[in-house]
Amino acid sequence: MGKVIAILLASSLLKATYAGGPLRILPVGDSITHGWYSGIGTNALNSYRKELKNLLVANGYVIDFMGSLADGDFPDNQHDGHDGWFADHDTKSILDHVAGWVETTEADIILLHIGTNDLNGNGTGTVAEVSAVIDEIQTANSNATVVLALIIGVKNDPSLQATISTFNNNLNTMAHARISNGDNLLVVDMENGAGIDYGSPDMKDRLHPSQLGYDKMATNWYPVVVQAIARQSPPLRIGSVAVSESMILLGIDNLATGKQTVIEQTGSLANPAWSNSATFTPSTTHTNWMLPIGSTNAFYRIVIP
């Protein structure tokens, strides 16, 4: 039987940013993004941002929160969550300012949770306004990934809750229509997907979570932000291949500099038992990997822990 050598570049396992530096994440919204009533006992204005940062760092992601404001008792606490602001209304209009925020921060990923103030009281917020905000973001940075939240619900206000649920259903429809048209857009369901109990203790008042609720939001943001990071990180690729009787020389591109990289090997993909074949820390985004040709089948993958 002939021998088989396969190279698997496991981009789905990447947990590092691209070589150009930390990915820039811009949280945009109102007082919920700002973090009103968060930081139990301290009102530290951590919002979901502190716990989301903790989750990303703990899992090896290199990111930098951006924004024109800074609040929270943790490093990297920048954001653009503005108290009382609307998607589009008078001078407190996210629509009128978001392009400038994106351009100034050069944000790669925008976390967008807006609409609560638009719906509260008069219920005049529209999905078209949110769609216009996304237009502004994409005009400011056509490569940015927008993570759009279906907004959280409220405490002890059935009428407003019904308005929010209808708004979110329409928001979801709009977002998926845009995704079908090729928009670089992801959706996260904060209303029902975060597991927030809209009574106590997850809500501090009618509109704002307690820190317990904010942390649930962070946990819900996390996997979708990871998807957004993957979209911004160029995949590993084989740039060149040279073959001799005993050796294959692969030129591997888009490595993350300074991040430990592991090459693992298995003899079968049916029931793979991956073992460490080599470990290195690249100082450049390109490296040459010399792979000996042995007498048995071998499959390899590259992993950045």
pLDDT tens-digit readout, 157-179? 999 999 999 999 999 999 999 99
At 20, is the pLDDT very low, low, confident or very high (cuts 50, 70, 90)?
Answer: very low
| Residue pLDDT, tens place only, 182-217 | 999 999 999 999 999 998 899 999 999 999 999 999
What does the pLDDT read at residue 266?
A: 82
For residue 23, the cross-strand partners are 63
pLDDT for res 41: 56
Look at 102 and 16; give whichever has higher pLDDT: 102
What pLDDT sits at residue 148?
98
Q: What CA–CA distance (Å, rounded) separates 236 from 59?
A: 19
CATH fold of 23-232: Rossmann fold (3.40.50)
Please give the pLDDT value at position 193: 98
Closest by CA to 21, choosing from 285, 228, 293, is 285
Task: State mean pLDDT over 82-88.
Answer: 94
Q: Read off the pLDDT of each residue in 245-258 and give the average, rounded to a whole number.
A: 77
Domain extents in the chain: 5-15+234-303, 23-232
Question: What stretches of the chain adopt beta strand conformation (E)?
Answer: 5-9, 23-29, 63-65, 69-70, 78-81, 109-113, 145-150, 185-189, 237-243, 247-253, 261-266, 275-280, 287-292, 298-303
| pLDDT of res. 253 | 77
What b-and-e string marks burial along 245-282, b requiring 16 or more CB atoms within 10 Å of the CB?
eeeeebebbbbbeebebbbbbbeeeeeeeeeeeeeeeb
**Global confidence as pTM:** 0.75
The DSSP call for residue 121 is T
> d(Cα 41, Cα 39) in Å, to the nearest integer?
6
- pLDDT of residue 105 exceeding 50, the answer is yes
Domain 5-15+234-303: CATH class, spelled out: mainly beta
Is the model's pLDDT at 1 over the cut of 50? no
